[in-house]
Structure 1
Amino acid sequence: MRWISYRTADGEEAVGLAAPGGYHGARVADLGADLLDLVKGGAPAMAAAAERLAAAPVVAAKNLDLLPPLPRPPKIICIGLNYMAHSQEAGFSPPAYPAIFARYATSLVAHGAPILRPRVSSQLDYEGELAVVIGRGGRYISEARALDHVIGYAVFNDGSVRDYQVRTQQWTIGKTFDATGAFGPELVTADELPLGCKGLRLETRLNGEVVQSASTDELIFDVARLVAILSEAITLEPGDVIVSGTPSGVGAARKPPLWMKPGDVCEVSIEGVGLLSNPIADEPTPTAGDA
């Protein structure tokens, strides 16, 4: 199944299920659950909601005001240097343990919404990534059972403000600026994809030019290993998002560097998972009294 979250014309949050030509949708207030609630309820809750939504009319995707599939995930845990070639282009040895940092929900934007270049920097970089959504929580999850805890996947663009990223020994500040993390368009349930999302082609395109291309087979720490490692320290909860790392080709590693700028369009596609497309815009100047 392929799920979306969106906003109705009168500003209410709604949930949609993919159908030929668009999505069957219902307001959260009518359905009695948002997509995070359905994820928490697992496959039975999603199946029951799908049965109810099947009776709803189909709305064309172009007419929907999309939100990130999970607008307010409990945690967004990001993994750095998880492709060999990217680790090397960044000047690091391949890691023996994942580089782990956080994002926050205020950084998220939906498919089609602008990624904002902040007023304080021009070094806005792209990072196409596979996002992993936890469906069943736990601690000390074994690698052998880890994929049982994954309910689905989505596409992510881990927009990075590079000069802020390197101002400190920890990367988080440059990785969670407001409106820099594109997420969506759909949450695709794991049963629709290869086990652990193995063997899928990930591409990032900036203004139509391919700037990143790799297979998810090239992940140093695959999905199951990431779930197991993270759960050694952190209780994973339903709705947590693991952003699994980016391949080589980032703008910061190019000579000269290639930064995203207003007017650009950045697309990230993952075979079978979807296409995430976002224009780039400048962060608005605050109005009087907001600064």
Structure 2
Amino acid sequence: MKLARYMSDHGPRIGIVVDERLVDAQQLGYRLEVEDILGGGSDLWSRMSADARADGRPSVPIDSLELLAPVSRPGKYFAAGMNTRDHVAEVSGGTTARAQSAHRRNQLVAQAYPDPRFAMIFNKQVSCISGPHSPIWLPRKSTLLDYEGEVAVVIGRRLRDGDESAARAAIAGYVVANDVSVRDWQTTTSQAWLGKSFDTHGPIGPWIVTADEFDPASAEIRTWVNGELRQSGALADQILSPWAIVSQISQVCTLEPGDLIATGTPAGVGAVQEKWLTLGDRVRVQVTGIGVIENEVVAEPSVEGR
């Protein structure tokens, strides 16, 4: 099932995507929050999907609607860094000053932790989350704006100290994500979250594809900037699987329905070649089996009264 949130005349509503149209879940009698639907499991998802596909159900074209982030304010939004070999290689072998600086930083980490036990995890503040077609703000305080096309998992059931099997069962669905990054703020200290959490720098969507209808083994991630293909990689080629990442995080903190975890980006980020995003750029991220998000870079608006 594809589960979307959209803006209706009555405020945000939940819908089920059927082909190129959307069926309002409330009109089918499902007056549930997204987290409740995710936690309902495959039996509920199958029932809702069948109801939405029944003959005569009222629907509207997807392209006539304003789609919202399918999870608006999760309790937590984590992301895994350096989780694809080609991205690690491009940072390690880059010739620009920015890439060399990142390489030196990674070397220091490797020297401090020669046998790493954990994934490189950072958090994105949930206030950065925005819709699949919402603008990305170019910060007033930096011009080193970058993209990272990714797949993010959405947790559907409470998980604490779970092994990989339990972690996979706790994943209710998948979304397309762009881990937008402000590189100077990211690398000035060892705490990456500052450069990962600017407002609007967490577009996700276009909907949640439930785990029973998504095959991670065949998913391809591609990112375009103004029509130029910048990134292309397979989710299956990641160093740690989504469920390995979820398992590790669950050993530290309890994961809850609606929590998001972005699983890592392939090679081709702008920082390596210093191809920074600028005003008017359009960033398109596509994941096979899920869909597309596309966001335009605009100037960060002034703060009222400043």
TM over 0.5: yes
Asked if 1:87 corresponds to 2:88, the answer is yes
RMSD of Structure 2 on Structure 1 (CA) = 2.1
Alignment correspondent of 2:150: 129
Alignment correspondent of 2:74: 73
Q: Secondary structure at the match of 1:198?
A: helix
**Of 115, 137, 140, which aligns to 1:119?**
140
Asked if 1:187 corresponds to 2:208, the answer is yes
Q: TM-score, normalised by structure 2?
A: 0.86
How far off is 1:150 after superposition? 0.9
Do the aligned partners of 1:25 and 1:56 also contact (CA within 8 Å) in 2? Answer: no
Q: Secondary structure at the match of 2:190?
A: coil
Q: How does 1:86-105 map to 2 (within 5 A)?
A: 86-90=87-91, 91=103, 92=106, 96=116, 97-105=118-126
Looking at structure 2, the residues matched to 135 and 261 of structure 1 have their Cα atoms a distance apart, in angstroms, of 36
Looking at structure 1, the residues matched to 261 and 296 of structure 2 have their Cα atoms a distance apart, in angstroms, of 24
Looking at structure 2, the residues matched to 99 and 71 of structure 1 have their Cα atoms a distance apart, in angstroms, of 25
> What are the superposed Cα offsets for residues 178-202 of structure 1, whole Å, 9 maximum, x if unpaired?
01111000100111122xx123211
> What are the superposed Cα offsets for residues 227-270 of structure 1, whole Å, 9 maximum, x if unpaired?
2111111111111111001111111111xx01111111101111
Alignment correspondent of 1:9: 9
How far off is 1:34 after superposition? 2.4
Structure 1: runs of 5+ lacking an equivalent: none
Looking at structure 1, the residues matched to 237 and 16 of structure 2 have their Cα atoms a distance apart, in angstroms, of 31
Pair 1:27–1:13, CA change in 2 (3 A): farther
How far off is 1:146 after superposition? 2.3
Looking at structure 1, the residues matched to 255 and 235 of structure 2 have their Cα atoms a distance apart, in angstroms, of 22
Q: How does 1:93-172 map to 2 (within 5 A)?
A: 96=116, 97-172=118-193
AA of the residue aligned to 1:239? G
Alignment correspondent of 1:176: 197
How far off is 1:42 after superposition? 3.1
How far off is 1:149 after superposition? 1.1
Alignment correspondent of 2:95: none
Do the aligned partners of 1:131 and 1:156 also contact (CA within 8 Å) in 2? Answer: yes
Alignment correspondent of 1:279: 296
Over 4 Å off, 4+ runs? 47-56
How far off is 1:53 after superposition? 4.8
More helix by share: 2
> What are the superposed Cα offsets for residues 138-168 of structure 1, whole Å, 9 maximum, x if unpaired?
1111113321111110100000011111122
Asked if 1:252 corresponds to 2:296, the answer is no
Looking at structure 2, the residues matched to 72 and 49 of structure 1 have their Cα atoms a distance apart, in angstroms, of 23
Q: TM-score, normalised by structure 1?
A: 0.91
Greater shift, 164-173 or 17-26, is seen at 17-26
Q: Secondary structure at the match of 1:89?
A: helix
Looking at structure 1, the residues matched to 9 and 134 of structure 2 have their Cα atoms a distance apart, in angstroms, of 16
Greater shift, 107-116 or 170-179, is seen at 107-116
Alignment correspondent of 2:19: 20
How many residue pairs match? The answer is 284
How far off is 1:36 after superposition? 2.2
> What are the superposed Cα offsets for residues 101-159 of structure 1, whole Å, 9 maximum, x if unpaired?
11122101111111111111111100000101111221111113321111110100000
Q: How does 1:162-241 map to 2 (within 5 A)?
A: 162-194=183-215, 197-241=216-260
AA of the residue aligned to 2:152? A
Q: Secondary structure at the match of 1:132?
A: strand
AA of the residue aligned to 2:287? I
AA of the residue aligned to 1:250? V
Looking at structure 1, the residues matched to 136 and 42 of structure 2 have their Cα atoms a distance apart, in angstroms, of 32
Looking at structure 1, the residues matched to 281 and 32 of structure 2 have their Cα atoms a distance apart, in angstroms, of 36
Do the aligned partners of 2:25 and 2:31 also contact (CA within 8 Å) in 1? Answer: no
How far off is 1:67 after superposition? 0.8
**Of 279, 282, 286, which aligns to 1:269?**
286
How far off is 1:86 after superposition? 1.2
Do the aligned partners of 1:156 and 1:183 also contact (CA within 8 Å) in 2? Answer: yes
